[in-house]
Amino acid sequence: MDRKHLPLDVPTPTSGELPPGQPVRPVRPPEGAPHVLVILVDDMGFGASSPFGGPCRMPAAERLAGAGLRYNQFHVTALCSPSRQALLTGRNHHSVGMGVTTEMATSRPGYSGFRPASAATVAQILSGNGYATAAFGKWHQAPPAEVGPSGPFTRWPTGEGFDHFYGFMGAEMNHWYPQLYDGTTPVEPDRRPEDGYHLSEDLADKAAEWLRSQHEAMPDRPTFTYLAFGATHAPFHVPAAYRRRYAGQFDHGWDVQRERTLAEQRRIGVVPPETVLAPWADGVPHWDELDATSRRVAARFMETYAGFAEHTDAQVGRLLDTLADLGTLEDTLVVLILGDNGASGEGGIEGTMREHLVGHGFADDVAWMDAHLEDLGGPRSYGLYPAGWALAMNTPYQWTKQVASHYGGTRDGMIVSWPAGIDARGEIRSQWHHLIDVLPTVLDVAGLPEPETVGGVRQQPVEGVSMRYSFDDAAAPDRRRTQYFEMVGNRAIYHEGWTAGARHSVPWRMVGGHGSFDDDVWELYDTRTDPSQAHDLAQSRPERLAQLRDLFEREAERHHVLPLDDRVTERENPQIAGRFDPNEGRTEMTYGPRAGRLTEEVAPNVKNRSHTITVDLTGGGQDTGVLVAQGGRFGGWSLYCVDGHPAYAYNCYGADLTTVVSDRTLTGGEHRVAVELDYRGGREPGGPADVRLILDDAVVGQCRLERTTAYYFAFDETFNVGVDRGSPVTDAYPAIDNRFTGTIARVRFRLAPVDEAIRRERARAMTTADD
């Protein structure tokens, strides 16, 4: 059977490949191909988990490590979507159009957000060879413009080789009130947080159910399961009991924690004994520079994060127990990747309980957070710890997520277990590897070739190498000699033990320019003798630095990295980013009474422009509930009724909630409820606006918004007619049980054209990138 051209055709009597009378059988993998389980934890740094010396207790991960191998030189990209695309395709992220997250895509070849058909996923290859395949959890690889009821669905999990999908499509998700998909069908949990619901537990349950069903129906058919947790990405949502397990355990602060973690890493051998702490990041205070309130808040953030990590690990443990119960754990290749990038410094210097506030360039208020500490981890918070903890969770390396110039952004712990195929137990492997090496490893283990064509499309080369050579040979020479890194202008190159990198930006400043790329300072490290990149040799070895810089330029040209673009949050509004906008040019839109679950880029884009929203309805006099809403508790807007009184709420970043309530009520019969927003920001995104609430033809309320949402309302919430799904925009109505009790005929939008100044900003930014 020629497995280099997929899909395979089954042998049949008519083809002459099968003797008459012999039954036609479906395609199956080669004899001895194991089950495969790939588990990806989100936003966890190298120094966070206990198997790699960190303070977050993860016994299930330790269990896997004891039965297998820990890789201590495993690398990722510095952001979510790029890592996932590299993992599933075996190609570098720019090679497959995913230079940044899907929400930041532009029109550039390396940044389009569209995976080409010439880069088939591991799921497509395994499925084409007879594996049963399923994905659970975070996807974050489909273009945002395609995440809607009209698709197309070719870049959803079920279009990219997975038979089954249960999870969410975007960057992050509320773990208490998630908005999920079963395949391509929108679904929501039938339980609430007060009933004990949590997304991570739900994902593990669904994965276990699927594995059990596959084993019961066809135990001889190998499975490929991809479980990508939303944890430990913001928001930090965790049952209180897990947070309380760490009460008081981080009062010593992040400086001491780095020292403790490094000592433990040396003790267990995941770093060489000569490793020292890399320099502290400029601009981040040391623990003794904080006041008492800031320390108290910061310590609680870390307690919450550690509980979040341990809770996630508990779900991994439950899934491993399922495999053991089924009798398949011994013959399952388990790849546990403890982070898709380094720990996140995007919570800012202070940390935040309202992530979108910091994402738009505003620091959260420490005193406010201190007064609301009991909410941290629960449904009323949307937390992300201070940058100091991110630096500590990346011990012993420098910097954090986004910063591709240093290992703090790009090195994570990885564990491989396959008892039936790996003799070694509890050992450490120090071969230098990258996410793109996972796909060729899986194919190697399964006895499958890299396909030359898939669906008739010739495949571009797989850029990873198999790690199988290292499974039973700790001393095997590295087979990966060179690897480039780049993210939002931060860049680096690895070659034969040396690294050179240029940090361009800091991750806690996600809005605004970062200066000229020509002014960036390149650093040089010999990681053969300086594994933590602590000693910069740029001044003493200029010739080596010049060689590596030249190598980076060649690699960047080859993989479509250039031109560099350092924008972060600004690119999360398609008006400014310059990517495809499915609603561009539309100024009038109409939705029926059941329209809903529209993600931000599919919904009407009301940001930075004047607009009118009109709801035609029939009321009964005391109707209550949501007429139309977008977003949720941490950013959005809602037009609703309370006891017959129309009202409008605008929630800016979860920090400024402005509400207008009509003093007139609906009477029985037909009515028009409208809101008119006059945007006064001019060329500045997120500027002020004047709002008028209208009932039929009369203005029944008005207000001034001193600031509006500039770039995005929320990654985890949606647009809905007749209900506010997920968390509520305002507490004027409850979560979940807020459907309008009257009858909605239609909702009409009239949008002013996008301000020409904003279009000019888009053109200016793209020209700057060219330069």
Q: What whole-number distance in Å separates Cα of residue 750 and Cα of residue 609?
A: 11
In the CATH hierarchy, which top-level class contains the domain 574-761? mainly beta
Contacts of 462 (CB under 8 A, 6+ apart): 89, 90, 91, 436, 439, 440, 450
Predicted confidence at residue 322, as pLDDT, reads 98
Average pLDDT estimate for 459-475: 98
Q: How far is CA 249 from the centre of its chain?
A: 28
Mean pLDDT of the chain: 95
Q: Is the pLDDT of residue 759 over 60?
A: no
Closest Cα partner for 724 from 607, 603, 605, 636?
A: 636
Model confidence at 443, pLDDT cuts 50, 70, 90, reads: very high
Q: What is the pLDDT of residue 763?
A: 52
* Predicted pLDDT of residue 679: 96
Give the mean pLDDT of 574-597.
90
**pLDDT beyond 50 at 643:** yes
| CATH number, domain 40-482, options 3.40.720.10, 3.40.50.720, 3.30.70.260, 3.30.1360.30 | 3.40.720.10
pLDDT of 771 above 50: no
**The predicted structure's pLDDT at residue 3:** 95
The b/e string for 92-117 (b: 16+ C-beta within 10 A; e otherwise) is bbbbbbbbbbbbbbbebbbbbbbbbe
Asked if the model's pLDDT at residue 353 lies above 50, the reply is: yes
Please, what is the Cα angle at 392 between 319 and 304, to 5 degrees? 50
pLDDT confidence of residue 755: 62
Q: What local confidence, expressed as pLDDT, does residue 16 receive?
A: 72
pLDDT for residue 770: 46
- φ/ψ of 458, rounded to 5, equals -65, 135
Within the chain, all domains assigned CATH 3.40.720.10 are found at 40-482
Give per-residue pLDDT as tens, 372-427.
999 999 999 999 999 999 999 999 999 999 999 999 999 999 999 999 999 999 99
CA distance 688 to 561: 37
Query: Does residue 171 contact residue 83 with C-beta atoms inside 8 Å?
Result: no
Average pLDDT on 722-734 reads 97
User: What percentage of the chain exceeds 70 in pLDDT?
Assistant: 98
Query: What one-character DSSP code corresponds to residue 755?
Result: P
Dihedrals φ, ψ of 676, to 5°?
-115, 125
pLDDT-derived band at 620, boundaries 50, 70, 90: confident
pLDDT of residue 24: 87
Q: Which residues, 6+ apart, have CB-to-CB distance to 627 below 8 Å? A: 615, 617, 639, 640, 641, 646, 673, 721, 722, 740, 744, 747
Which ranges in the chain are annotated with CATH 3.30.1120.10?
484-572
Question: Residue with structure tokens 């703090």?
Answer: 408
Confidence band, pLDDT 50/70/90 cuts, at residue 760:
low
372 alpha-carbon distance from chain centroid: 26
| CATH 2.60.120.560 location in the chain | 574-761
Residue 639 buriedness (CB in 10 A; 0-12 / 13-18 / 19+): buried
Span 679-699, pLDDT tens digits:
999 888 999 999 999 999 999
Instruction: Say if residues 82 and 99 touch (Cβ distance below 8 Å).
Output: yes
Fold of 484-572: Arylsulfatase, C-terminal domain (3.30.1120)
146-190 pLDDT per residue, tens: 999 999 999 999 999 999 999 999 999 999 999 999 999 999 999
At residue 225, the 3 state secondary structure works out as strand
pLDDT for 425 equals 97
Q: State CA 227 to chain mean position distance.
A: 13
Evaluate whether 26 touches 13 at the Cβ level (below 8 Å): no
